Amino acid sequence: MFEKVLIANRGEIALRIHRACRDMGIRTVAVHSTADANAMHVRLADESVCIGPPPARDSYLNTAAILSAATITGAEAIHPGLGFLAENADFAATVEEHGFTFIGPSAEHIRLMGNKVAAKETASRLGIATVPGSAGAVRDLATAEAAARAIGYPVLIKASAGGGGRGMKVARERDELARMLPIAQNEAAAFFGSGDVYLERHLERPRHIEIQILGDGQGGIVHLGERDCSLQRSHQKVLEESPSPALNAAERDRLGALAVAALSELGYKSLGTLEFLYQDGGFFFIEMNTRIQVEHPVTEMITDIDLVLEQIRVAAGGDFEFSQRDVKFHGHAIECRINAENPVSFRPSPGKIVHYHPPGGLGVRVDSAVYHGYSIPPYYDSLVGKLIVHGKTRGECLMRLKRALDEFVIDGIETTVPLFQALVRQKEIIDGDYHIHWLEEYLARAAKS
């Protein structure tokens, strides 16, 4: 097992990784920008190194600075967290070339599955159905128009090199495609360093279902159930739950078997998530994330398996301590992403937190790196923390979520807590009868009222 791990990230995920390391007796190194000098993960880590000024390109995306920090502190492994360099195959390869262990998949698998076009081609080869789309990246309007005619409007323009809603635009007809294509390309280039985009059929009422897997690199794969991530705004997940209220046991088993078979053939190592659109009984592969996910706690709550700990164990060459038959699902879990945003306009709200009181009690978990007096910097994403609740049933889970949201106090900045307080009282959410466009339709109706 490693003795010291450098955490190449910030915020709540850096703190989450630190905690898993400490649970294993591993010392940690925090890297940070000057804007994050007082961040919680920096305060708690055994050592910390400032790697640059606030802009991410000069700090959290600065490979040379991160490797230098690992060298001077004697770290043996680097955990990339999520976002930033987590799905950068060149970074993973460089880490290994410099004698450190990259806590994640191989650079080859990141390159293969991290590129959305290549991932779809691989999924098709492995026998997984995909959403109808372009044969590859579309780099000019003529190619895009030809692909859209073959696919059929409406189409979704998506970034090849990344996800999270960045570089993603809907085009319902030719003129809209002409307007949206350069916007999507420019956004993709700005966020992922590549302006390549591709087209997919835009499904009108699908659910977004993903399945969590863990591989040992030797063909051993276990799946840890699905997460329903259908509550989205601007293609970004807002609330996740597990198990999905839309699936029955047979569909769940079918999806799990599909994921295990596909990733076993690849010899995949580490955590990964296969994401699907689900509509009319069919699963359509859309992408794979080769990293820990923001929403991983809902899986931990229903399996009692520490995903980050297992990811570190596998990276260190350890064997699985459980088999597929040992994985038991119990109860229901829901996660709300609490952002520093106005709950109506979604305008970012950085600033100083003057009062902070997270909820507690049985079945309530808050993953956050903020504290009383902490200032949310304006340079990064607006995530304040994640509220995760668990109950024996979905109904109990929803009631516990209502109570926890009412207890949550974050003063000094605006947050999306009021939005979630309203959402958990909507009939469609209570019934589990929603799709990936439902939230934006709800917000549009609320804006008119």
Catalytic positions, please?
A: 291
Sheet arrangement for strand 4-7? 47-52, 27-33, 4-7, 77-79, 101-102
What distance separates the 2 farthest-apart alpha carbons in the chain? 59
Residue 240's H or E segment, with its range, is strand 236-242
Residues 6+ apart with CB under 8 A from 323: 222
Query: Look-up: residue for tokens 């780099």?
Result: 139
Percent of residues in the chain assigned helix, strand, coil, to nearest 5: 35, 25, 35
Cα–Cα–Cα angle for 99, 32, 82, rounded to 5 degrees:
70
The residue among 243, 247, 241, 232 whose CA lies nearest residue 389 is 241
127-144 burial, b at 16+ Cβ within 10 Å, e below that, comes to ebebbebbeebbeeeebb
**Beta bridge partners of residue 200, listed in sequence order:** 133, 156
Structure-block tokens of residue 243: 């198990």
Give the HSE-up count for residue 379: Cα atoms under 13 Å, Cβ half-sphere: 18
| DSSP character string of 175-237 | HHHHHHHHHHHHHHHHHHS---EEEEE--SS-EEEEEEEEEESSS-EEEEEEEEEEEEETTEE
